[in-house]
Structure 1
Amino acid sequence: MPHLRRSALAGLLLAVVPATALSGCGFHYPTDRVNTISAGVNDRTGNVDALGIRVLATAQGEGRLIGALSNNLREDASLESVSSTAGVSAGKFEPVEVAGRSTVNLATAADVPLSGNFTAGDFIPLDLTFSDGTTLSLDVPVVKPCYQYTQVPTPSESASEKASDDATDAATDGAAADAAAEEEGDAAHADESGDATFNCSDEAPAPEGEH
């Protein structure tokens, strides 16, 4: 009899355990959820998704908006303005057109310059307003131009190219050429002794757990 009781108890446990385990599964599997791996911030609440939004800064208070805009509608839409309540403002830019059912990479297809009270490592509140009247309010990270961001054009690079063109035009004037050379030397010295916040290490950090 004791042997029969133990066998019956074991059978009861085998019947109960699978049912208990399955009851916690439900139908909302993690693999069914949207999972965008990104260093930026995502917002999918509007007709236009904001994906991996970041501010790429090259100096304190200077940078540009990067990331992607994905239009969920068949109709075209556009990013009309970028504003902030934290002492950050956007420079002049053409509305960023996003065709219906398509995506725009802000790093290559648009230049939205930003200036104000921010530096690398900060998070700043930004409001992105679109042509359909919707506004996405984001808390956006500020990154520095290192590693994967080195190929993204920045406002400072555009200014450097313009300064180089101006120096070439003035090369026939000896005094102007000397002044340009002196300014370049001062700029190089400033870069060497500049804000350490924007220094890049020699190697990109390896993924966690990699040896």
Structure 2
Amino acid sequence: MPHLRRSALAGLLLAVVPATALSACGFDYPTDRVNTISSGVNDRSGDVDALGIRVLATAQGEGRLIGSLSNNLREDASLEAVSSTAGVSAGKFAPVEVAGRGTVNLATAPAVPLTGNFTAGDVIPLDLTFSDGTTLSLDVPVVKPCFQYTQVPTEGTSESASEEGTDGAAAEAAAEEEGGEAHAEESGDATFNCADDAPSPEGEH
């Protein structure tokens, strides 16, 4: 009889423990949650997700918007306007169309040019307004055109750059010819200098 009681107790424990473990764990595992690793800022609160949004600065007060826009709707949507309360404004750009359930990479789309009071290393407030009337307010980091950003087209992203056109390029070439490479480096903005090599991961020596 004691042997039977022990067997019954063991069976009861086996039945109870898994149920308790399942109820304690729940279903909201960290691996099931969205984890977008990016140096930019993300906002998923609207019908169009703004992912990895950054400003790629080409010079003091000049740059373009980069990152991705992902449409959660079946209907097409578009980025209609970009504005700021911190002395930053967007130049003229065609609405950025995002197909239903589609994604657009702003780094390869026609540029959304920005000018104003910013430089590499800053974080600036930007409001992105979409065709459905939604506005996303983001604190956007400003990066310089180094390392992974060297492949992003940056020419003509500001009104001043487009106005200078080829004349500006010719003047710059002439200045380098006259003053030499050392002089160009001296007069350049150190904020935008790129290191010779990309930084190594932490812990690597």
- Percent same amino acid among aligned pairs? 82
1:194 to 180, 183, 188: 188
Q: Please list the CA deviations of residues 118-144 of structure 1 after superposition, one character each: whole Å capped at 9, or x if unmatched.
A: 010000000000000000000000000
Q: Which piece of structure 1 moves more, 138-147 or 189-198?
A: 189-198
Give the residue type in structure 2 aligned to 1:57: A
Give how far 1:19 is off.
9.5
Where 1:108 maps in the other structure, the secondary structure is coil
User: What are the within-5 Å matches in structure 2 for residues 87-126 of structure 1?
Assistant: 87-126=87-126
Q: Any gaps of 5 or more consecutive residues in structure 2? A: 1-13
- Matches of 1:197 and 1:206, distance apart in 2: 20
Partner of 1:174: none
Give the residue type in structure 2 aligned to 1:149: Y
Matched, 1:70 2:73: no
- Matches of 1:82 and 1:203, distance apart in 2: 34
Where 1:37 maps in the other structure, the secondary structure is coil
Give the residue type in structure 2 aligned to 1:210: E
- Matches of 2:56 and 2:173, distance apart in 1: 29
Partner of 1:162: 165
Q: Measured at CA, do residues 206 and 166 of structure 1 come closer, stay the same or move farther in structure 2, by a change above 3 Å?
A: closer
Partner of 2:81: 81
Contact 1:63 1:155 in 2 (8 A): no
Q: Measured at CA, do residues 145 and 166 of structure 1 come closer, stay the same or move farther in structure 2, by a change above 3 Å?
A: closer
Q: Give the aligned length.
A: 188
Give the residue type in structure 1 aligned to 2:30: P
- TM-score, length basis structure 1: 0.77
Give how far 1:162 is off.
3.3
Matched, 1:131 2:131: yes
Contact 1:58 1:156 in 2 (8 A): no
- Matches of 1:137 and 1:91, distance apart in 2: 19
Q: Measured at CA, do residues 180 and 123 of structure 1 come closer, stay the same or move farther in structure 2, by a change above 3 Å?
A: closer
Q: Any gaps of 5 or more consecutive residues in structure 1? A: 1-14, 168-178
Partner of 2:30: 30
Q: Measured at CA, do residues 157 and 70 of structure 1 come closer, stay the same or move farther in structure 2, by a change above 3 Å?
A: closer
Q: Please list the CA deviations of residues 55-107 of structure 1 after superposition, one character each: whole Å capped at 9, or x if unmatched.
A: 00011111000000000101000000000000000000000000101100000
Contact 2:64 2:157 in 1 (8 A): no
Give the residue type in structure 2 aligned to 1:141: P
- Matches of 1:187 and 1:42, distance apart in 2: 43
- Matches of 2:84 and 2:18, distance apart in 1: 53
Q: Please list the CA deviations of residues 112-170 of structure 1 after superposition, one character each: whole Å capped at 9, or x if unmatched.
A: 00010001000000000000000000000000000000011114689499316996xxx
Q: Measured at CA, do residues 201 and 108 of structure 1 come closer, stay the same or move farther in structure 2, by a change above 3 Å?
A: same
Partner of 2:5: none
- TM-score, length basis structure 2: 0.79
- Matches of 2:198 and 2:92, distance apart in 1: 33
Partner of 2:199: 205
